[in-house]
Structure 1
Amino acid sequence: MTVWDRPEPPARPAPLDRERIVAAAIALADEGGLEAVSLRKVAARLNAGPMRLYGYISTKQELFDLMVDEVQGEILPEEPPGDWREALSTLAHRTRRTALRHEWLADLLGGRPTLGPNGLAVTEATLAALDGLADIDTVMRAVETVSAYFTGAIRREIASVRAERATGLSKREWQRASGPHVTKMLATGRFPALSRAVHDGTDADAETSFATGLEWVLDAVAARLARSSS
């Protein structure tokens, strides 16, 4: 039985429910990451005894599942997109923005799908965007491909944000500090492709890089769908 199927106990002696528990856990995670979340800390934030939480949540993994499902409600667009490409692009960009608001989400993306109402709604919206355009196996591989791209891109961006926070150096400050070493290594001639990238490549910001990569992936999906329908 999943946490969504299991009924909540009566809210006594003090008001308590899964909604308040999850909200407290999300607040802790937003402040300090998943390592800041424990049933004991959540209970303390709610001025409740830790054992009371076990009537609502059996394990920390259940709590994480509930947290992910709650923030997945932020991913669903208010209005249905116009076509499959707009739909998948919108879901990807909204997932990125949600992860930037809740950095801990990046640590849980790509695992087992959550089975809560918001998680199922996101999955339904993703599959429905391509429904009828190809056979179901092609649709599922297309969805997996797009998901693999934005999950990896989001994780990399969040890792960069965390590195800046840990070192106290912005990307440009880190590049300046690392410049002498990189220049020396490139001067050896052992890394010609990297040298061209460093000297001739354009440094795009994270949002532009994400959007460009997503468009390329969607181009590939469009080409595959066209072959499937011909």
Structure 2
Amino acid sequence: MTVWDRPEPPNPPVPLDREQVIAASIALADEGGLEAVSLRKVAARLNAGPMRLYGYISTKDELFDLMADEVYAEILPGERPDDWREALRILAHRTRQAALRHEWLADLLGGRPTLGPNGFAVTEAKLAALDGLADIDTVLRAVETVSAYCTGAIRREIANLRAERATGLSKRDWQRASGPHVTKMLATGRFPALTKALHDGTEVDAETSFATGLDWVLDAVAAKLTRPPA
């Protein structure tokens, strides 16, 4: 039986429910990442004994599933646009924004499909955006492709943010500190393409980079979509 099918304990001795457990877990993760979440720490935040939580969850993985599904509710837009590109674009950007609010979500993206109601709703919205535009296998591959891009781009962005905090160096500070080594490596002449990219390429912010890459992926999806015969 999954955590979604398991009923909550009846008549708890003190007020406690699964929503409180999820909220406390998300607060801990927002403060210190997934490594800051344990049944003991969640119980302490709720002023409850750790064994009390086992009536609501059995494992830490179940807890992570509940936490992720709660945040998936933030991804769902109020209305779905009729245009499939805009629908997928909105979902992608809302996923990135949710991950920036809850950085630990990046560690859970791309893993097992979430089986909670909000996770189902997000997947439904992605598939519904392309419904009728191609055969089901093409739709599935298209959704997988867009999701894979979003997962990779979001994880890279979050990793950079974590590196900045860990080192105390902003991206600009890190570039300055690494400059002498990079200059020495490029001077060997072994990396002409990289030299051209660093000297002539335009640096953009993370949001612009995400949006540009997403548009290119959606262009590729558009090229594969063919309306099935009536």
* TM tier, smaller: over 0.9
For the residue of structure 2 that corresponds to 1:12, the secondary structure is: coil
**Greater shift in the superposed pair: 8-17 or 167-176:** 8-17
- The residue that corresponds to 2:41 in the other structure is 41
Cα displacement (A) at 1:82? 2.7
Name the CA distance, whole Å, in 2 between partners of 1:218 and 1:12.
50
CA contact (8 A) 1:11 1:17 kept: no
CA contact (8 A) 1:142 1:221 kept: yes
- The residue that corresponds to 2:104 in the other structure is 104
Matches within 5 A, 1:1-230: 1-226=1-226
1:197 partner amino acid? A
Name the CA distance, whole Å, in 1 between partners of 2:139 and 2:80.
19
Name the CA distance, whole Å, in 1 between partners of 2:68 and 2:46.
20
How far does the alpha carbon of each residue in 1:80-111 deviate from its partner, in whole angstroms, 9 at most, with x for none?
A: 12311001000000000000000000000000
Name the CA distance, whole Å, in 2 between partners of 1:69 and 1:11.
25
Name the CA distance, whole Å, in 1 between partners of 2:7 and 2:119.
19
For the residue of structure 2 that corresponds to 1:73, the secondary structure is: helix
Name the CA distance, whole Å, in 1 between partners of 2:131 and 2:228.
13
Cα displacement (A) at 1:225? 0.6
CA contact (8 A) 1:8 1:56 kept: yes
CA contact (8 A) 1:72 1:122 kept: yes
CA contact (8 A) 1:22 1:66 kept: yes
Q: Superposition RMSD on alpha carbons, in Å?
A: 1.1
Structure 1 unmatched ranges of 5 or more = none
Calculate the TM-score normalised by the size of structure 2: 0.98
CA contact (8 A) 2:29 2:37 kept: yes
How far does the alpha carbon of each residue in 1:40-69 deviate from its partner, in whole angstroms, 9 at most, with x for none?
A: 000000000000000010110000000000
For the residue of structure 2 that corresponds to 1:5, the secondary structure is: coil
CA contact (8 A) 1:29 1:37 kept: yes
Percentage of matched positions with identical amino acids: 85
CA contact (8 A) 1:24 1:46 kept: yes
CA contact (8 A) 2:99 2:154 kept: yes
**Greater shift in the superposed pair: 12-21 or 209-218:** 12-21
Residues paired across the two proteins, number: 229
